[in-house]
Structure 1
């Protein structure tokens, strides 16, 4: 059965406790996720989004237990990605003529996914749908995070159906933000933003300000993944504005991979030097071949600066470092600083190549990257500590310069 949210709105989604990977294997979901679908019963009956394709038959079966499908007057497709639209083919076999409201891009993508010419009704920002006592208002939100993305606002109950915006991959039976661990929730919301929405931060800021200018009352933000924001729902909007504004904390993250622990010893010595110079800075060391890649990228998002280290192998760097550098390029981090380091035996190209890739990814590179020949001895360890101290000073200088 569904879960009533208000007198008119019922949650009819799917909680996926077993989900551990998303977007193929690009995003780790160690806390599971949910696919939130909502049924509105007013004078007209409206279904907002569906669930991921593997649960399509289960979704339609449970929806039939909630309502006679023929009573559904309209379907709103806020986003055509398959985790939201995946049950549409199964549903449309039951109610084939039902109008599907979506953006023009949404109609194109849904046709591209399912090769069906359903009864699409395309809408633009400001278009409305009268459903009785309430009115649905549509707001296009392109690139949050697909070209077709859309928000839907319901008057009366004052609900923003925000789709992927403000969501998290976080499974909970409780549904609401005030019923879960706030630390877990914040961590998952931040991870979601860092790994999915960072490249679109300028669109985030613009769209939020546009929506806020409507001066609409807001009681609930009903996302498509994770919790519904019920207690102080605007708190996540404030977080998004903060995260979208070139977010950084007083943190330096050292990312490395290592073959025989020489580069690991370098990383540890550099970390010691950073803290010696600035005890207030948070330093995190992460082995890219052992740590979750999305957790690493979340720490990069939080950091004012990063250091990346790898030994030289076959005139290059290790593949776990290569994958992270490629992901960083796509995420387009802004106003962050970086350096490179690594051990070598004879050719030693890795440090230079890492530095070049960091610059391509948009990081401002410090001048003195560092290489250590073979395994660092006690003398080299002291040199590395001094290098760490210099890095702390350089990163802080750049932050202060940028802020003035």
Structure 2
């Protein structure tokens, strides 16, 4: 496929075009911005927004129109198509719908009177609600007539010259208007959010299977895991099609080892669908901010092996909602505040929770607001009066959370998940062979004789108000290579600092002295509240990579993460050592002795 750079969008952005067939192309908006707050952008590789254009007679079909931030250049692209090929009708096919995309469609519809929108039934509901929603920051609000809308209620075929499309509604809790498109002749699936990855790459497809695996798994963990059952069903349905290429909404297309990737999506979902405790995450979200808060909480909960069931109450039948409440081991409910009130679906869902919820199970509330926050007050008052016990203070965030707040939300989610596990009925520990194990198991006693250096791992990322810090006590540490000098560290999946140890991130390993290890041991084994500064009151220094050295260190290493391997309930991190120094040459390394391999 050709790669034609057709201009600069804005600072940190550019545009590329890929020709699929003579009249079928993809325009990719590349965004190098690495400071976006949303959880799914934490790997800081930018992103792309992939929009597809099909020319048929005098009509231009635009699949997945981009968000408002790309509008200026999007206008130029449309003008180029229409002028060059004498097109006078535009048909938007959109499943992913949010206020920014609506603004794009509204702008184009004022320029082209012959505009049509094709969407699913839930998509139509979203568009109708958002189309003339007043923005309180604008003094002069002008209503724009809603274009003609074609509603797709089930699989629908669309024949366009040499292009044969099948439109497939795929509603999910996060994106109820979901609509994927299969093109039969090229055997290409335009998969929308499913299978996406946030990578700003100029290439049409991944260079190999491994090149995007970490990014796609991260996207899955952030956005797909809370609705894993729905995603598994969608993936199984997609697997029945003859597909050569998957082209998602974000990131490069998937062409290598496509079948194994689909199998991974199913496996990831099935691993989450266990008999573990379950949390019902109930929410509504007007602009996506409340949903982003819920995503961060869910990411933290998932680290504890507790399953999250994400329920968008605007599009969930009441009987399904009630069943989820009855089967859940804990509840989270979140709402935006619109015009000083909670949305009607949230009020209805709150009534179901009050009627069907178990008062002995923990609950938490959250929400975003612009000027008031009455919806959060309503949730708090009604649930408190109804006899529910809160696991954390209500989360109130004005507009959208920044990166430190996102990390704090993850930690709140992890704490909430741990409480659920403690309340769940304890069962005997089983090994992977199915045998019941305990601390007296001979193999675990033998494993406990493996010892390691006692260290404190510290990590810092971001600048100024976006700075995030973390730390953990570590003893599962080993030198891993001579050239380059490298080490490996095992990090439990529910550790808060784990999110700061992605490939490319830096950290410091503070090796403790056998003379001075007691104070840092006491400090870093105590439980920290979500968002609490691990280094408050400590006279720290920084490595050349601006990582944190604690004063009790015998020696320190400044390292960069190169590889990550998933190992059961831990991640094994391989890092290349870039700097280091000995601070106390007259002391020996503290060593952690154990009697069992069943715990630290």
Q: Secondary structure at the match of 1:218?
A: coil
Aligned equivalents of 1:46, 1:40: Cα separation in 2: 5
Q: Secondary structure at the match of 1:74?
A: strand
1:388-403 equivalence runs, <5 A:
389-391=597-599
Q: Secondary structure at the match of 1:229?
A: coil
1:144–1:197 CA contact under 8 A, matched in 2: no
Say which structure, 1 or 2, has more relative contact order (CA 8 Å, 6+ apart): 1
Q: Give the structure 2 partner of residue 311 of structure 1.
A: 526
1:238-253 equivalence runs, <5 A:
238-246=263-271
Q: Give the structure 2 partner of residue 198 of structure 1.
A: 225
Q: Give the structure 2 partner of residue 34 of structure 1.
A: 48
Q: 1:319 to 1:151 in 2, by over 3 A?
A: same
Measured after TM superposition, the shift of residue 40 of structure 1 is 1.2
Deviations 1:310-358 (A, max 9, x none): 6356xxx24269xxxxxxxxxxxxxxxxxxxxxxxxxxxxxxxxxxxxx
Deviations 1:224-283 (A, max 9, x none): 1000123444343222112212169xxx99x999xxx989897324x469xxxxxxx982
Q: 1:197 to 1:191 in 2, by over 3 A?
A: same
1:165–1:223 CA contact under 8 A, matched in 2: yes
Measured after TM superposition, the shift of residue 167 of structure 1 is 0.8
Aligned equivalents of 1:16, 1:154: Cα separation in 2: 27
Measured after TM superposition, the shift of residue 166 of structure 1 is 0.8
Q: Give the structure 2 partner of residue 268 of structure 1.
A: 474
1:1-400 equivalence runs, <5 A:
1=6, 2-23=17-38, 27-43=41-57, 45-68=60-83, 70-82=87-99, 87-115=104-132, 117-143=146-172, 145-178=174-207, 182-213=209-240, 216-246=241-271, 267-269=473-475, 271=476, 283-284=490-491, 292=499, 311-312=526-527, 317-319=529-531, 382=592, 385-386=594-595, 389-391=597-599
Aligned equivalents of 2:82, 2:193: Cα separation in 1: 26
Q: Give the structure 1 partner of residue 421 of structure 2.
A: none
Moved more, 79-88 or 128-137: 79-88
Q: Give the structure 2 partner of residue 368 of structure 1.
A: none
Q: Secondary structure at the match of 2:168?
A: strand
Q: 1:46 to 1:30 in 2, by over 3 A?
A: same
Measured after TM superposition, the shift of residue 160 of structure 1 is 1.0
Q: 1:319 to 1:10 in 2, by over 3 A?
A: same
More helix by share: 1
Equivalent residue pairs, number: 299
Measured after TM superposition, the shift of residue 71 of structure 1 is 3.6
TM-score (norm 1): 0.63
Q: Secondary structure at the match of 2:474?
A: helix
More strand by share: 2
Q: 1:256 to 1:62 in 2, by over 3 A?
A: closer
Q: Secondary structure at the match of 1:87?
A: helix
Aligned equivalents of 1:182, 1:239: Cα separation in 2: 12
1:80–1:110 CA contact under 8 A, matched in 2: yes
Aligned equivalents of 1:310, 1:72: Cα separation in 2: 65
Q: Name stretches of at least 5 consecutive residues in structure 1 with no aligned partner.
A: 274-280, 297-308, 322-363, 365-377, 393-404
Aligned equivalents of 2:153, 2:96: Cα separation in 1: 14
Aligned equivalents of 1:28, 1:239: Cα separation in 2: 22
Measured after TM superposition, the shift of residue 183 of structure 1 is 3.7
Q: Name stretches of at least 5 consecutive residues in structure 2 with no aligned partner.
A: 1-5, 7-16, 133-143, 274-302, 305-409, 413-454, 459-470, 479-487, 504-523, 534-568, 570-587
Q: Secondary structure at the match of 2:115?
A: coil
Q: 1:267 to 1:10 in 2, by over 3 A?
A: same
The Cα RMSD (Å) is 3.9
Aligned equivalents of 2:131, 2:526: Cα separation in 1: 47
Moved more, 67-76 or 285-294: 285-294
Aligned equivalents of 2:226, 2:497: Cα separation in 1: 25
Aligned equivalents of 2:158, 2:501: Cα separation in 1: 39
Aligned equivalents of 2:48, 2:26: Cα separation in 1: 11
2:88–2:112 CA contact under 8 A, matched in 1: no
Q: Secondary structure at the match of 2:214?
A: helix
Deviations 1:274-323 (A, max 9, x none): xxxxxxx9822689776646959xxxxxxxxxxxx86356xxx24269xx
Aligned equivalents of 2:51, 2:532: Cα separation in 1: 37
Larger radius of gyration: 2
Aligned equivalents of 1:89, 1:56: Cα separation in 2: 11
